[in-house]
Amino acid sequence: MKKTMVTPVRAAPAYEVVTEHLRRALQLGRLMPGERLPAERQLADQLGVSRTTLRQAIRVLELEGIVESRRGPAGGLFVLPQRYGERQVKAMMAERFAQIEELHQFRLVIETATARAAALNRTDKDIGRMQAALATMSAIIAQPAATKVPDHVAHFLAADSDFHTSIAAATGNSYLAHAVEEIRATRLIPIGAVFTRLDPTTNDGHQDLLDAIVAQDADRAAECMASHLTGAHEGIKRQIQSELKAQAAAERKVRERKSGAVKSGPSNVSEHRD
């Protein structure tokens, strides 16, 4: 019998499509922790779906701990901050460290080509979006201790996502734009939910890259993007290594305290018996 080369097609229910769409908005920083979503009718209209479909999607996101519904005058549907336990964080970062080289190579291929094409095709509107995103990042980095405040980290990553997706949109190529969006979503989750600080060099290279795109210098734009991506790559590796070391030290202290408690326990009991 001839072996079949295809598998059955499963049409995804509408609510699953909506759920994934909202997840992606969260991954790209278009919806921020603590942010209230539009009212149900308005959100359903924005998504182009029925309120029933939207409710099903929201129910899934609530069960996943991504959003919550709050009652009262100041109530509504709110995005929850994503929190992970220490073991989850360690597992995530160890896994991401193994994948980071592959992601970096992919980014170098895609985003240098994107920068080159953006320099040749950008419009004044595209430049305005990039400038706005860069201004937000620069303002956050300029704040005292900004690199150590979780809320600042989340907002910086959202602006960084806007900057890179704006460059991709400026190419006028939907395939490149989609590829960069996938990169951002892959890179930010779980990194955006796990890291609570920014590497001090995080914003380095953005201004040079923007200047090259404004000047429509395609070669320079590609060079600046490659340099920026390499610097960001090294910064993320330093952060992961630092976080893993800190967690290992914390676990070691816990073990030492437990070991000390066990050793002192029998001694205390013995003295009490005497």
In a domain, 261, yes or no: no
Same domain as 93, residue 65: no
CA angle 50, 53, 59 (to 5 degrees): 140
Per-residue pLDDT reduced to its tens digit, 210-219: 999 999 999 9
Per-residue pLDDT reduced to its tens digit, 186-235: 765 544 555 666 777 788 899 999 999 999 999 999 999 999 999 988 88
CA distance 41 to 46: 9
Orientation of helix 124-142 relative to helix 206-214, angle to 10°:
160
Same domain as 241, residue 142: yes
Same domain as 163, residue 216: yes
Domain count, the chain: 2
Strands (E), 32-132: 67-70, 76-79
CATH number where 204 lies:
1.20.120.530
For residue 196, what pLDDT is reported?
A: 62
Per-residue pLDDT reduced to its tens digit, 87-137: 666 666 666 666 778 888 999 999 999 999 999 999 999 999 999 999 999
Same domain as 68, residue 142: no
Q: Who contacts 79 (Cβ-Cβ below 8 Å, separation ≥6)?
A: 26, 31, 32, 33, 34, 35, 36, 37, 66, 67
Domain boundary among 79, 111, 135: 79
Domain that holds residue 94: 86-250
Q: For residue 70, list its beta bridge partners.
A: 76
